[in-house]
Amino acid sequence: MDYDYNSEYNDEDDFDEIKRIVPDTSAIIEGNVEKIINEKGLNYPEIIIPEAVIAELEHQANNQRPTGIRGLENIKKLQDLAEIGKLSIRITGRRPTKFEKDNAKLGEIDGLIRDVAKDELALLLTSDKIQAKTAEAQGIPTIYYAQEYKGAIDLKIAKFFDEDTMSVHLKENVVPMAKKGKPGHIELVKLADEKFTYKQLELIAEEILEKERYDPKTYLEVDRQGAIVVQSRDLRISIARPPFSEGLEITAVRPVAEVSLDDYHLSSQLIERLTNSARGILISGSPGAGKSTFAQAIAKFYDEDLNKVVKTMESPRDLQVGDTITQYAPLEGDMENTADILLLVRPDFTIYDELRKNHDFKIFADMRLAGVGMIGVVHATRPIDAIQRIASRVDLGTIPSIVDTTIYIEDGEISAIYENKLTVKVPTGMEERDLARPVIEVRDFESGTLVNEIYTYGEQTIVMDIGMVEKSKKANKKDKTPVQLIAEKEILRTMKRIAPKAAIEVSMENDRRVNIYITEKYIPKIIGKGGKRITELENEIGISMNV
């Protein structure tokens, strides 16, 4: 094993004089105390363990982290060695405060450990390079043992995968299962007849978290009470424990296909749009439909074919992209901080995988309006759902500037492509010219057919299915159109706001006139002095009202 020693301790003769050792948390976890005693033949050294180390290991153990359990077990081994006269052991110092625990990653607990080493005039033993450098800068005698990964190169859970496996699902007291196939043709199969025990799963989980500490291509993406997500190479691994889940469960997911845009057989018209005019793209589809696979293909197209600067915003970082594409996680736990950095980096395109919450849509919109080409990945069960999700979160008039193209993926194939444009018109299904308003037209990209209209009606944002409007017109001229039904609902809501205790019924006579039936004593309140209120309502809604 390689060592890095403080210059004061580079001389071999000095090791015989080591009498007091303060190990930090990393040294305890690695078992380095026993190593240095055995390798250097130290005679009855005094091992001084700071309370801060005990507290940190206890915290890790309470969070079901194997490092915490292992560290506490290693301290127990040192106690056993003390009982047979190999060493003496003493626990000293103070436990960290809440502030110090919350800021452990900023070095607060490491500082407590160094204070103990200084006060005890002891040698500091560590496997943390930053801790070693800081201690040396403070003049503390230090020995640094580089961390060494002792596990296998491939994780045990990787052995459950073959070329057709999309995901592996392991749970205590349940047989191992896997999803096999391609998007659109997936089946759940048993991998074995024997059920997994808790101990077997715990060993797999421990190996995963152990690799995260040493492998530069393995990242801890989420670490919460009862839930951990690790990205290891092309595997996204989720570990769930009580109280988050009722039992220990490990799920590993990986992409089953690496494709290019050529594999999707896109029309020359769409290639032209992606190349020259599409700057705000939403890729939507149901879970497992192949959205991320298509996003990877677009990233490769922009990066390799168009020679653009491409970045990604991901949590977890599981897109399989080339080395020239940098994958960014939430900076300090917030994608808004990541966006601030990306605006300084100035990429041509950024892939945001994936948009879930209001915060995500706001960041996507802000970056797009700042001039960055954006490609968002979002869950949706229908092609229009992606637009509808963003329509409720941004000003209606900005939608075409934020999202100009939506691509719906189903069963690994492109099912629909929509383009969005802003115009001023009378919405389909209405007839009065004075009902004209800003309308977002959602058209099928290939055929140009109008598919949906998005507009405001009163205080509501309406996403109207044009096919449903036309079908309603043809089916029965006497039936109320979807627009009339929406108008009735909006007018009723307005009336209820004015007279909340009144019994009210609203019936559209036609697109130009509505009948309002209301408890008689509330009629003056609706009409207002000199008919002022009813006139204002008619002007606001654009429909003649008969009360």
Whether 11 and 131 map to the same domain: the answer is: yes
The distance in angstroms from the start CA to the end CA of the chain is 90
Whether 141 and 181 map to the same domain: the answer is: no
pLDDT reading at 478 higher than 60: no
Query: Mean pLDDT, the chain, as a whole number?
Result: 87
How many Cβ atoms from other residues are within 10 Å of residue 134's Cβ? 18
Residue range of the domain that includes 491: 482-546
Whether 336 and 249 map to the same domain: the answer is: no
Rounded CA-CA distance 322/297 in Å is: 11
Rounded CA-CA distance 91/466 in Å is: 75
**Does a structural domain hold residue 297?**
yes
Summarize the confidence of residues 198-226 as an average pLDDT.
87
Q: Which of 145, 179, 207 is the last residue of a domain?
A: 145
Whether 243 and 291 map to the same domain: the answer is: no
Assess contact for 334 and 300: CB atoms under 8 A.
no
**Does a structural domain hold residue 386?**
yes
**Does a structural domain hold residue 462?**
no
The pLDDT score that the predictor gives to residue 486 is: 78
pLDDT reading at 163 higher than 50: yes
**Does a structural domain hold residue 436?**
no
The pLDDT score that the predictor gives to residue 494 is: 86
**Does a structural domain hold residue 452?**
no
Instruction: Tell me the pLDDT tens digit for each residue of 275-302.
Output: 998 999 999 999 888 899 999 999 999 9
Whether 129 and 167 map to the same domain: the answer is: no
Q: Which of 253, 287, 318 is the last residue of a domain?
A: 253
Q: Which of 95, 111, 145 is the last residue of a domain?
A: 145
**Does a structural domain hold residue 44?**
yes
- Strand bridging mode 437-444 / 450-457: antiparallel
Tracing tokens 């960041």 back to the chain, one arrives at 363
Whether 375 and 524 map to the same domain: the answer is: no
Whether 102 and 213 map to the same domain: the answer is: no
The phi, psi pair for 147, rounded to 5°, reads -65, 145
Q: Which residues, in sequence order, are CB contacts of 219 under 8 Å at separation 6+? A: 212, 230, 231, 232, 316, 317, 329
Whether 184 and 298 map to the same domain: the answer is: no
Assess contact for 174 and 196: CB atoms under 8 A.
yes
The pLDDT score that the predictor gives to residue 535 is: 87
The pLDDT score that the predictor gives to residue 149 is: 64
**Does a structural domain hold residue 287?**
yes
Q: Which of 142-146, 150-154, 253-257, 325-329 has the lowest mean pLDDT?
A: 150-154
Whether 352 and 384 map to the same domain: the answer is: yes
Whole-angstrom CA distances from 416 to 122, 274, 388, 408 are: 69, 15, 15, 5
Assess contact for 109 and 52: CB atoms under 8 A.
yes
Whether 277 and 376 map to the same domain: the answer is: yes
Assign residue 64 the CATH number of its domain.
Answer: 3.40.50.1010
Assign residue 372 the CATH number of its domain.
Answer: 3.40.50.300
**Does a structural domain hold residue 459?**
no
Whether 273 and 407 map to the same domain: the answer is: yes
pLDDT reading at 243 higher than 90: no
The pLDDT score that the predictor gives to residue 291 is: 92
Whether 21 and 63 map to the same domain: the answer is: yes
Instruction: Tell me the pLDDT tens digit for each residue of 339-380.
Output: 999 999 999 999 999 899 999 999 999 999 999 999 999 999
Domain count for the chain: 4
Nearest partner of 71 among 25, 23, 117, judged by Cα: 25
Q: Which residues, in sequence order, are CB contacts of 227 under 8 Å at separation 6+? A: 238, 239, 240, 241, 244
Assign residue 182 the CATH number of its domain.
Answer: 3.30.450.90
Q: 194 preceded by cis ω (within 30°)?
A: no
Instruction: Please report which confidence band the pLDDT of residue 474 belongs to, taking 50, 70 and 90 as the band edges.
Output: low
Nearest partner of 123 among 226, 46, 193, judged by Cα: 46
